[in-house]
Amino acid sequence: MTLRLHTYWRSSAAYRVRIVLALKGLDYESVPRHLLRDGGEQRRPDYLALNPQGLVPALEHDGHVLTQSLAICEYLDERFPEPPLLPAGLHERATVRAMALAVACDIHPLNNLRVQQYLRDGLGQDEAAVSGWVQHWISEGFGALETLIGRHSSDGRHCFGGSVTLADACLVPQVYNARRAGLDLAPWPRLAAVATRLESLPEFAAARPEAQPDAPPGAG
Ligand SMILES: N[C@@H](CCC(=O)N[C@@H](CS)C(=O)NCC(=O)O)C(=O)O
């Protein structure tokens, strides 16, 4: 049955899922949900009926609606096992999940659109303060990931071991966000090298924001 992804070109959580869909060689239908237009299409009743959290992504498959990007990625990995995105060993799997969660739980949520909107509109912070907040939390997380990549990458081209894992599918979208936030990646050379190498792979290139059907013409 068709895979239908509710997505937004610039959503880094949706970007993770797009990477995994591409790695698995799966065709899917994109349903764009513009996060800014008309107060945010993710807050419309038709979308809240699918995902009461009002966040993208959501994936429809086999009559089910799945939400939360990491739950979706693990679903896809179990349902379409090749190539595997988690290592065979118990401890190795836990480490890859920890690296993925370092992005998905401890960096991204602090900088999400609704958090930035609340800082600005709810707490009256100016652009400099919001930008400083975003850069601070990405820097904190990237510092730890730099050490973890040094410890666990066996080839300097992947976050863990010598093949693509769930951690890589989380790192690249977060690096995209970091660049958008104006961060220079120089303090984290291992992380930057891994991200640059991964971005050159066709599956990661197909998933990048600018390649999405809802990206505005000339986006880049
Ligand atoms: N933990 C969620 C986060 C989803 C999320 O925050 N998505 C963002 C886009 S990257 C969103 O929909 N933001 C809309 C908003 O903040 O109103 C996941 O991994 O799926």
pLDDT in tens, the chain (220 residues): 799 999 999 999 999 999 999 999 999 999 999 999 989 999 999 999 999 999 999 999 999 999 999 999 999 999 999 999 999 999 999 999 999 999 999 999 999 999 999 999 999 999 999 999 999 999 999 999 999 999 999 999 999 999 999 999 999 999 999 999 999 999 999 999 999 999 999 999 999 999 999 999 888 6
Does pTM top 0.85 for this prediction?
yes
- For residue 67, the one-letter residue type is T
**C-alpha 57 – ligand 1 centre gap (Å):** 7
- Is 192 touching ligand 1 by the criterion CB < 6 Å? no
How many angstroms separate the CA atoms of 171 and 102, rounded? 9
Q: Which atom of ligand 1 is nearest to the CA of 67?
A: 20
